[in-house]
Chains A and B, each alone.
Chain A
Amino acid sequence: MKVYKIVVLAKQVPDTRNVGKDAMKADGTVNRAALAAIFNPEDLNALEQALRLKDRFPGSTVTLLTMGPGRAADIIREGLFRGADDGILLTDRAFAGSDTLATSYALSRVLMKLKDFDIVIAGRQAIDGDTAQVGPQVAEKLGLPQITYVEDVLKIENNRIFVKRRLHNGVENVSCTLPMLMTVNASAPACRARNARLLMKFKHAKTVSELQTANEDYLHLYSDRPYLNIAEWTVANVEAEPEQLGLSGSPTKVKTIENVVLQAKEAKTVPATDAAIEDMMKELIASHAIG
């Protein structure tokens, strides 16, 4: 049976779904210290699609690629615990301040290095920026066909992949040739939980930087068990033009950030009588709020 080399693009993001009072600083920027760093939710949907392909086509491999600070190695480990084969952490000060253009440039340079991949899968968008630009930009830079809003992979036949897209008012089945890139929606199946055996097998996996502070008693593991070494790539590993990286490669400039507090202004109290409720229903139907 045909096997596929799959790369999943994932991002570590602040958990903006559980925002407390201290989530924003006085100057309107995100208070990262108050928010847990998590696996971007739709990237987990993407990982699940990759793992399902691996289940369907045994022998296929899943590589996780993430760009971020050193602690983003957590994302690679989370992937390994769920069934990914390996991962690459792309980390360098040169990448700091990247917008979507610089990010997609850096990621595409890594993919060019990897060369023989068949399918790149990313989440639709990250919950911190909500741009949904990185996946499509990576595809453009690599000249790959791309399919966005994927909910399910239907089949792969004769080097063509058939997928179901979830759109605003329906679904669409489309296909393209491999290699290709797809972005996956939150409506796709949730990612499987961590597997107990994989968790225990990979919990000591570390990047070279993390090894500096690792428990000395366990250092022998990293030569005995090569799979515990998480690849850590820097600018030196990718042939990139420095001006396209980080801040200098990021045309996006943030002008101002406003803290918007939504307030219901048109609250209305309806007396608990049948007549009043009927009036309210009529009003809601008339305004197309319901019906």
Chain B
Amino acid sequence: MANFYTDNKDLKFHLTHPLMQHIVRLKERDFTEKAKFDYAPLDYEDAIDSFDKVLEVVGEICGDIVAPNADSVDKEGPTVVDGHVEYARGTADNIAALRAAGLMGMSLPRRFGGLNFPIVPYIMAADIVSRADAGFVNIWGLQDCAETLNEFASEDQKMRFLTRVCQGETMAMDLTEPDAGSDLQAVQLKATLDETTGQWRLNGVKRFITNGDGDIALVLARSEPGTRDGRGLSMFVYDKRDGGVIVRRIEHKMGIVGSPTCELVFKNAKAELVGSRKFGLIKYVMALMNGARLGIVAQSVGVAEAAYREALSYAQDRVQFGKAIIKFPAVYELLSNMKAKLDAARTLLYETARFVDVYKILASIAEERKLEPEERDELKKYQKLADFFTPLAKGISSEFCNQTAYDAVQIHGGSGFTKDYPVERIYRDARITSIYEGTTQLQVVAAIRGVTTGAYLEQIRAYESVKLLPELEALRRTLIILTNDYEEAVRKVVAANDNEFIDFHARRMVEMAGYIIMSYLLLIDSNRDTTYQKSARIFVRFAKAQVKAHAETIRTSELNDLGEYQYC
């Protein structure tokens, strides 16, 4: 009888952020769909009420079905039978429950049967599902591949595939190959066009494909023979009903065991081209990855939520030396820092989701009509923010998720090292978040331009000028000092005029920017709800220690030092 939405007031807090009014009005085109669809919102309040009620259903299914299934799913795992995946029993139950509740295709347009939700409530559902079962969210969350079809596929393709996604069919994105992991330009899977019939066929192998046996897959393949880089790759959609792809094996993984990670063999599999040839990697995969990365931020936050709750309840119950262990400074400090990091990661998640929302919605409006000049400026501004915030959020929140899971096991002591407590599974599940959809190191590569171009600094200055309650002033002053430290560090690194020196300090600089941004977001949250002041104060202390340490490392670092680190 648990409800993972209503038992977590932070979710509703972020759902009702002031910018949501603008987002919902844009998304609903001034509420014009109410005449056509009986479930479209009548106005802003009605839309928020609908999100709230639907998320309550998500919370109920997660609390009553998905979370209780997580343990058996982790033990059973999926299997391969006759070249196809058979989910663990609990996974199949979870899918059936979410499908019956109409929770597939949440963000897709209503004309395909979707709920037309903005990214924020959709991502909130992912946050909730992740807390219940981190492995399961991958299968359910792959519905956001449909967003890419919605953006780039033909109307006919959308009609055929998106309606099926809304009815509950699952998806996969087939990108990685044995020799093309982080470097997708090396993709080899061959796409051949039969000029007489116009039919594309796929041949080759894909590896590490999450839910690789899903009903509908987006496949990155080499359509231009003789090419070797990303410009020879196109995007295809494969329909499992057509056959031609078999699952050779499922990886034996440390965590997210319920999510089948497949090795796929394509044998003359029929497929359809999506969008234009040669744009597969450079345009469509980039869109796909940004959506997927935001999904991993939600997963990281949801898993950290689960870890924190397990640790908190254990610390309250476990008695040693005559008192609950939460009474010991060593334990309550850990827990408070976990909570502060959780609140910080979550506020960054929803800030990023809002940026993505504004920019994506304006981009889709631009396909319907010419944007006004101020709308064009707004689109540009939010696209830039979304592009810089997504890797920042993915990098930092997934590291926080791992730290939180580590500390949660620590609080459990020896019990946490056994399989008797859920925290052991959560710890294993957390580990992947900082690896897939681009490792933390690769997020830093994507985020560093936000440092060197001054984009993060500009946004930090914007936060700095937000009017705050008087009691938050002291914290703002601290952050201004840290911002100066950050600026100085960046200035020094950039002045060396050496790319390797920038790469060497990139993670430090990205983290400095990230911690300052997260601190400001918590301050702004505290303005709207004073209960966040505690986390804001604790997080600013953490940020201060980290930023100062990074600043000192950079201040005393010289280009020549790199030699000492090189190649070990």
Contacts and interface: CB of A to CB of B under 8 A. Distances in A.
Interface of A: 17-18, 192-201, 203, 217-218, 221, 225
Contact of B39 (A18, A192, A194, A200): A200
B432 to A, nearest CB: 28
Contacts of A203: 49-50, 53
Assign chain B's interface to a size class.
20 to 34
Contact of A225 (B38, B60, B106): B38
A193 B115 contact: no
B57 A193 contact: yes
Nearest to A194: B57
A140 to B, nearest CB: 35
8 contacts: A193-B61, A194-B60, A195-B102, A196-B103, A200-B41, A203-B49, A218-B42, A221-B42
B54 interface: yes
B30 to A, nearest CB: 15
Interface in B36-60: 38-43, 49-50, 53-54, 57, 60
Interface in B89-110: 97, 100-103, 106
A48 to B, nearest CB: 11
Given A194-B57, A196-B57, A196-B101, 19 more contacts: A18-B1, A192-B97, A193-B57, A193-B100, A194-B60, A195-B102, A196-B102, A196-B103, A196-B115, A197-B39, A197-B115, A198-B39, A199-B50, A199-B57, A200-B39, A201-B38, A201-B39, A217-B43, A218-B42
A196 B54 contact: yes
Contacts of A18: 1
Interface string B41-84: 11100000110011001001100000000000000000000000
A64 B198 CA distance: 54
Contacts of B57: 193-194, 196, 199
Nearest to B49: A203
B60 A200 contact: no
A221 B97 CA distance: 31
A225 to B, nearest CB: 7
A224 to B, nearest CB: 10
Given A18-B1, A201-B38, A195 B101 contact: yes
A38 B57 CA distance: 15
B567 to A, nearest CB: 55
A225 B40 CA distance: 13
Contact of B97 (A193, A198, A201): A193
A15 to B, nearest CB: 9
B103 to A, nearest CB: 6
Nearest to B105: A196
B102 A197 contact: yes
Contacts of A217: 42-43
Given A200-B54, A201-B39, A195 B100 contact: yes
B381 to A, nearest CB: 32
A221 B41 CA distance: 12
B101 A200 contact: no
A199 B100 contact: no
Report which residue of A195, A197, A201 has the largest number of chain B beta carbons within 10 angstroms of its beta carbon: A197
A201 B53 CA distance: 12
